[in-house]
Amino acid sequence: MERLKQQLQAEGIAYRADEPLAAHCTFKIGGPADVFALPETEEQLCRVIALCKEQGVKYYLLGNGSNILFEDAGYRGVVIDTMALKMGIGFLEQVAHPGAAPGEVYDAVVAGAGLKLSSLCTAALEDSLTGLEFAYGIPGTVGGAVYMNAGAYGGEMKDVLQSVRYLTQDGDIVEAETAALDLSYRHSIFEENGGCILSATFHLKRGDPDAIKARMNELMAKRVEKQPLDKPSAGSTFKRPAGAFAAALIDQCGLRGFRHGGAAVSEKHCGFVVNLGGATCADVLALCDEVRAIVKEKTGFDLEKEIRVVKA
């Protein structure tokens, strides 16, 4: 690890040693990472990954940290902060989109992986582009949202995604159309192929900016009303089971407010596990196991965690 640190320093790639990961995720849980790399360019990002592979050091690509849970021991390797990338947004007017009706055109928006999803939505609004309203308020980055095919209020990333540029495990940079990404409920091909998303292109339509803004504000108001945004969490804790809703099942089992240590099922929304203060990864996992067991016993539904646990 010392050799890797020396190379990062020699090549001008910023990093911090023993960085507390609780400061870099919305759950506010997690021990220190051996190295927390802060690449500012696509080239630096690719170089950090190459160095890790050359030296047999494991690495983890981090966005906004909004759907993950770090272990209390932290991470024995390199956590790469994609939000440090200075990659913005590009607009391409009047582009063809696969599957579009004859004569139908879209505007394309190209966004870097480390860009906050909310910033992309705001930029689309400012250019009078519609299609991303559902994503406003999702607390993640473009790369993270594509990686898990994030969605809300009837929309998913796959609905507006045109293509993705990514770094393969072999070190090649390729671009793939949406159809090749195996996008489904909270899943993409990147979970299996280990590719590093660099940027994504979205196809959006021209719209009425007042209507776009009104829809964004409406959905944000729903989030504020229904979700425990005042407490640290990783968003929806469990995936939606076929034929039911996780939050409703948990509430039906009388688990609203149920807690283990510093972690609890939210009083406001049973689909969220929240950090009441001082919660550990062990608290959250124990609580999730208890909730799953009770729901399984009382309803027959087997809940699957939506949050991703990053092993130390």
CA-based nearest residue to 187, from 304, 306, 61:
306
**Tokens representing residue 131 in the block:** 């299609």
Residues 241 and 257 in one domain: yes
Specify whether 116 is located in the same domain as 201: yes
pTM to 2 decimal places: 0.91
Query: Which residues have C-beta within 8 Å of that of residue 155, sequence separation ≥ 6?
Result: 133, 134, 135
| Known active-site residue 306 | yes
Q: Do 77 and 97 have their domain in common?
A: no
Residue 252 lies in a domain: yes
**149 and 182 co-located in one domain:** yes
45 plus 7 within the same structural domain: yes
Distance CA 151, CA 85 (A): 24
**Whether the predicted pLDDT of 102 surpasses 90:** no
Q: How many domains does the chain have?
A: 3
Tokens of 284: 């959250």
Per-residue pLDDT tens digits for 181-232: 999 988 999 999 889 999 999 999 999 999 999 999 999 999 999 999 999 9
Same domain, 78 and 130: no
- The reply to whether 133 belongs to the active site is no
Percent above pLDDT 70 for the chain: 96
Give the angle 236-286-239 at the CA atoms, nearest 5°: 25
Q: Return the H-helix or E-strand segment holding 166.
A: strand 161-167
CATH number of the domain at 110, please: 3.30.465.10
Residue among 186, 199, 233, 266 flagged as catalytic: 186
pLDDT in tens, 61-95: 999 999 999 999 999 999 999 999 988 788 766 55
pLDDT of residue 115: 94
Residues 256-287 pLDDT 10s: 999 999 999 999 999 999 999 999 999 999 99
User: Which residues, including other chains, have CB under 8 Å from residue 60's CB and lie 6 or more apart?
Assistant: 75, 77, 78, 79, 80, 310
Does 9 share its domain with 111? no
Structural domain span for residue 254:
229-310
Choose one of 28, 61, 84: the last residue of a domain.
84
164 with 76, same domain: the answer is: no
Catalytic residue flag (residue 308): no
CATH number at residue 303: 3.90.78.10
Please spell the DSSP secondary structure of 201-260, one letter per residue. Answer: EEEEEE--HHHHHHHHHHHHHHHHHHS-TTS-EEEE-BPPPTTS-HHHHHHHTT-TT-EE
Can you give the C-alpha Rg of the chain in angstroms?
A: 20
Mean pLDDT, residues 11-32 taken together? 98
104 band by pLDDT with thresholds 50, 70 and 90: low
Query: From the candidates 42, 71, 133, 306, which is the catalytic residue?
Result: 306
Residue 267 to residue 81: CA distance in whole angstroms: 32
223 found inside a domain: no
76 and 185 share a domain? no
Q: Which of 66, 118, 199, 236 is catalytic?
A: 236
The predicted pLDDT at position 93 comes to 62
- 94 lies in the same domain as 198: yes
Q: Which of 84, 101, 120 is the last residue of a domain?
A: 84
Nearest to 79 by CA among 12, 138, 32: 32
Q: Which tokens belong to 241?
A: 């089971």
Pair 102, 200 in one domain: yes
Would you mind telling me the total number of residues written for the chain in this entry? 312
pLDDT computed for residue 87 by the predictor: 80
pLDDT on residue 103: 61
